[in-house]
Structure 1
Amino acid sequence: MALNSNDLKYFRFAFKAMGTPCEIQLFAESHSEAKRVSDAAMADVRRLEARYSRYRNDSLLSAINRVAAEGGQVAVDDETAGLLNYAATCYEQSDGLFDITSGILRRAWRFEQGKLPDDAQVRGLLEQVGWHKLRWEPPVLEFPVAGMELDFGGIVKEYAVDRAAALCRDAGVRHGVINLGGDIKLIGSRADGSPWRVGISHPRQKGSMIKTLALREGAVASSGDYERCIVVDGIRYGHVLNPKSGWPVRHLAAVSVVGDFCVVAGSASTIAMLKEENGPAWLDAMGLPHLWIDVEGNVGGSLAESAAYSKSRSIRN
């Protein structure tokens, strides 16, 4: 693929995966070349969905969770081990708030019913929540407590974004964007050297933006209380659940983070939501550019006044 930007044309491919609208934008010499690269990236996204979806009985994750339900152990492959290692790092960095065993709480929180769950049910489910209750000695994962389950929902989509971008870059793409449901990774600037413009949606005003960022590199991911929620007695209860209490966080409405990798930006935005009033300070300490809006409508963060992207640290092992 030629590096001369004058030879490149813009292409966009829309598709659906992981339950959300997705798209790949890239500059290439021809439609056939762009389609070949985008098809390979889409295939990998769908491969990851097939492996780690909790909605598919034939997925690897469902097989792991069948072992977890009975109590026992299972050996995992290198890719899954990498995701588990990252989940362990996030658990430690978040003081136990980012916990991939907490997905089981959705059995109590059925937002489509429009009512709060029974507190006793939430407390009962908490007995099966806690990464510290597992034994993880790669490649063997053991579930001493029967009835637990894993949910990679807070990691896999963002991991898929990073992999898709890497596949495109390895195929020669130097200018492009991977966007899986708002989780974004940039592959260089636009072909003419100008930045890509990434809009940060307002969590309370559908169709409006809090900020538009001009970026030539990096990744952007967001977390918020707007995807699935209920309002009871004037109080909004979102889907971001504290794994220690079993109840939704109620301080920040949304957090967007810019990082070198989408998986880091995504987990960091979720951790900030879970840390509630301490979330912005944690992001500052991590050196991650970010933008937040709280439930009162206040906006802040290092990106609130500037759209510039600076190199950021990743969550370290």
Structure 2
Amino acid sequence: MSYRLFLSQLPSNFLTLLFVLCTALQISAQDVVRKRTTMLMGGRFDITIVAADSLQAERNIDIVIEEIDRIEHLISDWKPTSQISLVNQNAGIKPVKVDQEVFELTKRALQLSKETAGAFDISFAALDKIWKFDGSMTEMPSEERIKRSIRNVGYDKIILDSANGTIFLKQAGMKIGFGALGEGYATNKCQELLIARGIKSGIINGSGDMSTWGKQPNGEHWSIGITNPFKPNDLYGVIALKEGAVTTSGSYEKFAIIDGKRYSHIINPVTAYPASGLCSVTVFGPNAEFCNGFSTSAMVLGKDKAIDFLNRQSGYSYLIITDSGKIIKSKNLMKIKKVK
């Protein structure tokens, strides 16, 4: 019996039911997009994933939040029981054994510190807070106070023991923290976790440190907006990110203007003076942790040194906007769609 003849012999009400069931199956087969926002690691995380159904999507978002919370309890220097807090509490006293994950993250941070000659420094957490970026600061702190503020900063005083898996801060009063790497690291780990669980597309955005993979259900790449630092409520442009990470560091949200000069909330760990000269640095590449470290370092290094440093990072591209509004792009930067 032919397929058409078989259908013609079915009751009309059964055909209607068959049509409804087929339509329902087609709809249920469509991927769904689910988003959730939560506050973790001292900042905002926006989690967007594409999954086969809503239940699967929501369960995987729960797992992402659990993973970020796990990382926070390992590396947060604000949580007194975290492994990094224990390292800080024993500064100048004794080495502290940490998980391999924490050890390797610290090792990478120290390598970045060396590559940037201290423009990036995880011991920056011990800096005295003498600068205010809430609009109340109208004059520079004294030079003596600035010099004194970095007395406990110095990545060269951090001792890693690979054989025993320990971290030791040689000088009492030292502290390490992952404020410029932790969120990027967390987005990487969450992406890896979701891919391993079969989630083929999504965005993890940790306070602007983004990891993306896959495509939207309509087949298009994820569109990532780049903020106009001179009009923070507007976009400079939009980029279609096929896969990878993007991070922006900038002075357009937190800064102080003293004697007509803009000073970023990003402090140079070597001099204890705020970074100046660059308004924002956006870095694109395969790894959000590195993008985060590179963009922060570039803000401190200043235009010429930042360009030289970023050009040496294979697989990464950048967009730099100076305080004067000059746009500097790497040769390998993907196409940006300008927003009018």
TM-score normalized with structure 1 length: 0.89
Partner of 1:33: 56
| 2-structure distance, mates of 1:49, 1:290 | 28
| 1-structure distance, mates of 2:41, 2:229 | 21
Q: SS of the residue aligned with 1:185? A: strand
| 1-structure distance, mates of 2:200, 2:236 | 29
Instruction: Check 1:106–1:259 CA distance in 2 against 1; reply closer, same or farther (3 A cut).
Output: farther
Which residue identity does 1:248 align to in structure 2?
Answer: P
Which residue identity does 2:326 align to in structure 1?
Answer: N
| 1:1-317 alignment runs, 5 A limit | 7-68=30-91, 70-112=92-134, 113-115=136-138, 116-138=140-162, 139-277=165-303, 278-287=305-314, 288-302=316-330, 306-307=334-335
Instruction: Check 1:74–1:210 CA distance in 2 against 1; reply closer, same or farther (3 A cut).
Output: same
C-alpha contact 2:317 2:333 (8 A) present in aligned 1: no
Residue 133 of structure 1, CA deviation:
1.8
C-alpha contact 1:108 1:118 (8 A) present in aligned 2: no
| 2-structure distance, mates of 1:217, 1:196 | 8
Instruction: Check 1:18–1:12 CA distance in 2 against 1; reply closer, same or farther (3 A cut).
Output: same
| 2-structure distance, mates of 1:137, 1:307 | 44
C-alpha contact 2:222 2:242 (8 A) present in aligned 1: yes
Which residue identity does 2:113 align to in structure 1?
Answer: Y
Q: SS of the residue aligned with 1:21? A: strand
Q: SS of the residue aligned with 1:270? A: helix
Q: How many equivalent residue pairs?
A: 304
Residue 185 of structure 1, CA deviation:
0.6
C-alpha contact 1:221 1:256 (8 A) present in aligned 2: yes
Partner of 1:313: none
C-alpha contact 1:291 1:304 (8 A) present in aligned 2: no
Which residues of structure 2 form unaligned runs of 5+?
1-26
| 2-structure distance, mates of 1:227, 1:48 | 27
Q: Which has the larger radius of gyration?
A: 2
TM-score normalized with structure 2 length: 0.83
| 1-structure distance, mates of 2:93, 2:275 | 30
Task: Please list the CA deviations of residues 229-285 of structure 1 after superposition, one character each: whole Å capped at 9, or x if unmatched.
Answer: 222222222121111111111121110011101011111111211210221232123
Which residue identity does 1:292 align to in structure 2?
Answer: I
| 1-structure distance, mates of 2:58, 2:124 | 39
Q: SS of the residue aligned with 1:129? A: coil
Residue 6 of structure 1, CA deviation:
5.5
Instruction: Check 1:165–1:150 CA distance in 2 against 1; reply closer, same or farther (3 A cut).
Output: same
